[in-house]
Amino acid sequence: MNWWQIKKKDADLERELRSDLELEEEEQREGGISGEEARYAALRAFGNPTLIREQTLAIWSWNWLESLARDLRLSLRTLGRTPGFTVIAILVMALGIGANVALFTVVRGVLLKPLPFDDPDHLVMLYEAGLHEDDTAGSNPVSGGMYDEWKKQNRSYSGLALAKGIRVGLSASGGQLPEKLYSALFSWDVLRTLGVQPALGRDFTQADDNPTASGTVLLSWGLWKRRFGSDPAILNQTIHLDAKPYTVIGIMPAWFDFPDPSTQLWTPVYHDKPEDEMTSFSNHMFRVVGRLKAGVGASQGVADLSIISQRTHNAHLNDPFIFQSARSRPLLEHIVGEIKKPLYVLLEATCCLLLIACLNVANLLVARSAARRKELAIRTALGGGWLRLIGERLMECLLLSASGGALGLLLAFAALHWLMQTRHDMSRVESIHFDGVVAAFTVGVIVLCALFSGLIAAFSSSDKRILGALHEASRSVSGGGARPTLRKVLLTLEVGLTVILLIGAGLLLKSYERLRSADMGCLTQDVITMHLGIPDARYPTAAQRANFYDTLLERVRALPGVDAAGFATVVPGQGYQIDWTFSIVEHPPLPQGSGQFALSRWADRKYFHAMGIPILRGRTFDGGKRLDAANEVVISQSFAGQYFPGEDPLGRHLRARGKNAVIVGIVGDTRYAIGETPKPVQYYPLDAGVETVGTLVIRSSRGPEQFALPVQRIVSEMDRDLPVSDVLTMNQLLGQSTLDQSFNAALLVAFATLSLVLAAVGLFGVMSYIAAQRTTEIGIRVALGAKREQVMRKMLLDGMRPAVFGLVVGLAASLEAGRLMRDLLYEIKPLDPAVYAAVAATLLAVAAFACIVPAWRASRLDPMQALRAE
């Protein structure tokens, strides 16, 4: 029955009762009683009309709903009376709930939601494995040759497809500048294997995917919108990629971002890559995605492929770089692999934060219920049911956490918006949405918070010593013992959780700092880098290529203010990229089945100077040796140490890619990525005119950023179709590669700071409350001659005790938490003593600060005033 129906019923009932009462009155009058007397007699016979009304109405109404509404009204009024408390509690809840909802939304979108592909449970990512004995867990890319064998011979997969992310230059067209784009090479059946259709146009066919076919390309929705104005007429038009023509055959849906989020276009791999790369067994460069046939398990599929790998390996024993087995991982795991652990750590951190928020609100409620003790005792004495009182308390908490949740939801929206803006590089960031599950999660969290904080508070006030409370309240000499104890326990827990968060944040922060201060082996200041590459199609000969870079570097070096400039295919911090196998001509041949490989880079002769990589022995490349005559190689220190132990490498020859090169110099070690140990590197001369794509580095002590535009002008003067991209200072380049770490550390530090503030507020609240309760006691003590310092010391100790207990508990629990985080740390132990000490000191300092104000205030009490206070 609805409330308006009840209202109608109530009016009706009132009329009925009035009418009957009047009848009774008339009868009484007829019986001979007159005037007022009759009225009173009628009322006496009738009983209390209001009570009757209420009792009768109870027949019609939903009793519990009504009492709920009453609780709600009451709670609103109670909360409204203490706006300060209400605002603080709601804010605390909002922070806790908001952080949790935001992170849960991310975790759900990224980790829990199935991939948007057809029947994603059957999709796996395949790797080669088993080159070395200990190599069982690696995720090695697959060689074109092995893929071919797998595809031809396997019986477990209904589809096996190949993908590789690359970069291409999109030529200037229609008044638009040339640009460098992330692109992916697909075998023709990738989309079929994933079960995805282009949004417009058609998929690749087998006929598109071979060297003799004409070029075809699929565009991403974003590129189509941005560069071609969402014009469907682009279909079947020709665009130029690295100066070669490609026909646009389709546009992919907006959500499609395989193999990674930055991919903007897709081209067929067998068309783009030379045949020898596609058939090589030792050139491992591709990602292979497979769809398991129905009823075939992942391990069964891997076993099938491993047999093929083993057979191929045995057939080519002279090639030491053919893997012997295969490995697979669910596709989802491959895509989110790196982000999974940090996300879960962050989720645990937000859970801690929420728990702290709940504890804090519970603490505030306990304090309030202590203040309302007299009221509650009176209500209990007048027959207020225990359940009703708890219900009321829960309703209050529900109101608090619901408003907190609503506010938190707004915070979560803002946080997610910010996240999508700043971390669009994150895998699956596009699948993060608010949806039904997130809504349910939010409601669940709100209810849980209300129950948690409400029940703690309710049980704290459920003691039956009504009389005691009434007595005590009439003249309180010292605060009742029970409640401060409960509050101290809550505080201990809160402090403990804060310590865990602080230690987690401290560890991440320190490891991030270590990471950023790791010596890269080259200059990181005053250096700017720019990515550029010349298309083979327009620079077909080695001489043209070598000349281009000669001219470019010459003109760049001539710019006023440039201290040095150089060019290399890969600079430190840009990743592993390429390694080559090599042999040392002067050494005896290695036994069959073993081989050597090292990172390989092409560099111009002044690159080492420009990057500040020291030449330890020998010299750099001879500028006079060009093209085929460029037969020199420079090696890194660790290369020399590893492959020429106890001998002088200078003058020896390396044989790689079928050519001999003489070692002319040894340079210092560099790290290919921040956080990785230096690996051996072989540098070949750019003057050979082989390599076409790389990074220009410019060093200037007068702000290298200023050269971004002049250099781009030079490049476009030399070739107006050449895009320059990724203009980054060395610091920015390294910053990008530590984005994850800095992001995680920043978030965790934010959470830890918040929880520290919450714990401090809690501590301050409890101390102020205890001090207020003890006003009379302290007054008596002071009046009897206690020194103010003594009072202060006692109060301080009282307040610090829960903080110290909490610290101990938290430190103990952090041992476990640190273990969980081990994978996220760089060069520090989970038990880093400095971090533990710093956290303990910070916490104690904050706790002391939170306690000192109430303690000081207590010690300043004027005894006379204190004694009169009640």
Point out which residues bind another protein (CB under 8 A).
Answer: 12-13, 15-17, 19-20, 22-24, 26, 46-48, 51-52, 55-56, 58-60
Rank residues 29 and 516 by Cβ distance to another protein and give the closer one. Answer: 29
What is the smallest separation between the CB atom of 471 and another protein, expressed in angstroms? 37
Rank residues 42 and 791 by Cβ distance to another protein and give the closer one. Answer: 42
Backbone angles phi, psi at 777, to 5 degrees: -60, -45
DSSP annotation string for 192-240 = HHHT---SEE----GGGSSTTSPPEEEE-HHHHHHHHTT-GGGTT-EEE
Rank residues 51 and 294 by Cβ distance to another protein and give the closer one. Answer: 51
Rank residues 22 and 870 by Cβ distance to another protein and give the closer one. Answer: 22
What is the smallest separation between the CB atom of 73 and another protein, expressed in angstroms? 25
Two structure tokens written together for 117: 């592909």
Two structure tokens written together for 554: 């010459």
Residue pointed to by tokens 């990738």: 190
Q: CA–CA separation, 224 vs 222, rounded Å? A: 5
Two structure tokens written together for 246: 């490609």
What is the smallest separation between the CB atom of 27 and another protein, expressed in angstroms? 8
Rank residues 27 and 148 by Cβ distance to another protein and give the closer one. Answer: 27
Q: CA–CA separation, 346 vs 600, rounded Å? A: 38
Rank residues 16 and 554 by Cβ distance to another protein and give the closer one. Answer: 16
What is the smallest separation between the CB atom of 70 and another protein, expressed in angstroms? 20
What is the smallest separation between the CB atom of 460 and another protein, expressed in angstroms? 39
Rank residues 48 and 136 by Cβ distance to another protein and give the closer one. Answer: 48
What is the smallest separation between the CB atom of 12 and another protein, expressed in angstroms? 8
Q: CA–CA separation, 398 vs 405, rounded Å? A: 10
Q: CA–CA separation, 619 vs 611, rounded Å? A: 15
**CB-based contacts of 16: which residues, under 8 Å, 6+ apart?**
none
Rank residues 45 and 87 by Cβ distance to another protein and give the closer one. Answer: 45
Two structure tokens written together for 734: 């390294």
Rank residues 20 and 260 by Cβ distance to another protein and give the closer one. Answer: 20
Rank residues 55 and 577 by Cβ distance to another protein and give the closer one. Answer: 55
Closest to 531 in 3D by CA, of 675, 678, 692: 692
- Give the Cβ contact number of residue 838 at 10 Å: 16
Two structure tokens written together for 478: 């010292």
Rank residues 2 and 517 by Cβ distance to another protein and give the closer one. Answer: 2
**CB-based contacts of 239: which residues, under 8 Å, 6+ apart?**
170, 171, 173, 217, 245, 246, 248
The total number of residues written for the chain in this structure: 870
**CB-based contacts of 460: which residues, under 8 Å, 6+ apart?**
366, 369, 370, 482, 483, 486
What is the smallest separation between the CB atom of 32 and another protein, expressed in angstroms? 17
What is the smallest separation between the CB atom of 388 and another protein, expressed in angstroms? 22
What is the smallest separation between the CB atom of 46 and another protein, expressed in angstroms? 5
Question: For residues 517 and 710, is the Cβ–Cβ distance under 8 A?
Answer: no
What is the smallest separation between the CB atom of 5 and another protein, expressed in angstroms? 12
Distance set, CA 754 to CA 28, 353, 649, 750 (Å): 74, 8, 57, 6
DSSP annotation string for 568-618 = ESS-TTS----EEEEEETTSPPPPTT--EEEEEEEE-TTHHHHHT--EEEE
* Residue 567, Ramachandran bin (φ over 0: left; ψ between -120 and 50: alpha; else beta): beta
Rank residues 27 and 304 by Cβ distance to another protein and give the closer one. Answer: 27
Rank residues 39 and 794 by Cβ distance to another protein and give the closer one. Answer: 39
Q: CA–CA separation, 650 vs 559, rounded Å? A: 35
Return the ∠ at Cα 83 (arms to 77 and 87), rounded to 5°: 120
What is the smallest separation between the CB atom of 374 and another protein, expressed in angstroms? 34
What is the smallest separation between the CB atom of 47 and another protein, expressed in angstroms? 5
Whether the ω angle into residue 259 lies within 30 degrees of 0, i.e. cis, is: yes
- Give the Cβ contact number of residue 187 at 10 Å: 27
Rank residues 60 and 576 by Cβ distance to another protein and give the closer one. Answer: 60
Two structure tokens written together for 254: 């907006």
Return the ∠ at Cα 347 (arms to 848 and 756), rounded to 5°: 10
Closest to 584 in 3D by CA, of 684, 683, 653: 653
Question: For residues 599 and 576, is the Cβ–Cβ distance under 8 A?
Answer: yes
What is the dihedral sign for C-alpha 73, 75, 81, 84? Answer: negative
What is the smallest separation between the CB atom of 391 and another protein, expressed in angstroms? 25
Rank residues 22 and 676 by Cβ distance to another protein and give the closer one. Answer: 22
Closest to 768 in 3D by CA, of 453, 499, 484, 400: 484
Rank residues 57 and 808 by Cβ distance to another protein and give the closer one. Answer: 57
What is the smallest separation between the CB atom of 59 and another protein, expressed in angstroms? 5
What is the smallest separation between the CB atom of 6 and another protein, expressed in angstroms? 12
What is the smallest separation between the CB atom of 98 and another protein, expressed in angstroms? 46
Using CB atoms within 10 Å of the CB of residue 247, give its burial: 0 to 12 exposed, 13 to 18 middle, 19+ buried: middle
What is the smallest separation between the CB atom of 48 and another protein, expressed in angstroms? 8
Rank residues 24 and 687 by Cβ distance to another protein and give the closer one. Answer: 24
